[in-house]
Amino acid sequence: MVVIRLARGGARNRPFYNVVVADSRRARDGKFIERVGFYNPLARGNAESLRILPERIAYWRGQGAKLSDTVIRLLKQQGSKQGANTATTEGAGSATV
C-alpha cells in the first residue's frame, strides 16, 4: 500500500521532515517514490516552516494512497482544502470504531 507520511532528516536535536509518498513496507527514512513537501518544526523568523503541494497530494490520493495522521494535521495547518476533506472522512470512520 502507498502512504503519504513524514521522513525524518536533519541532525540530532534539529529535526527536519520531508513529506514523502512511499510504500508502507519501506523503512520510515528509506527509499520513497516522490517528495511532495517538507515540514521544519524549528523554523524561525521569516523562514518557511511548511510546504506541501496539494495538487500532488490530490494525485496520489486518486491513486489510492493513504495519509498518515500527522500529514492530515499538517494539511489542516496549511489550510489545504484537500486536508480538511480527508480529515473529516477518515476521522469519522475511526471515531465510530
Cβ 66 vs Cβ 11: under 8 Å: no
**pLDDT higher than 70, residue 93:** no
Provide the residue range defining the domain that includes 82.
2-95
**pLDDT higher than 70, residue 92:** no
**pLDDT higher than 70, residue 52:** yes
What phi, psi does 33 have (nearest 5°)? -85, -50
Average pLDDT over residues 38-44: 94
Q: How many domains does the chain contain in total?
A: 1
Among the ranges given (38-42, 77-81, 90-94), the one the predictor scored with the smallest mean pLDDT: 90-94
Q: pLDDT value at position 79?
A: 85
Q: What is the CATH number of the domain that holds 32?
A: 3.30.1320.10
Cβ 36 vs Cβ 19: under 8 Å: yes
pTM: 0.77
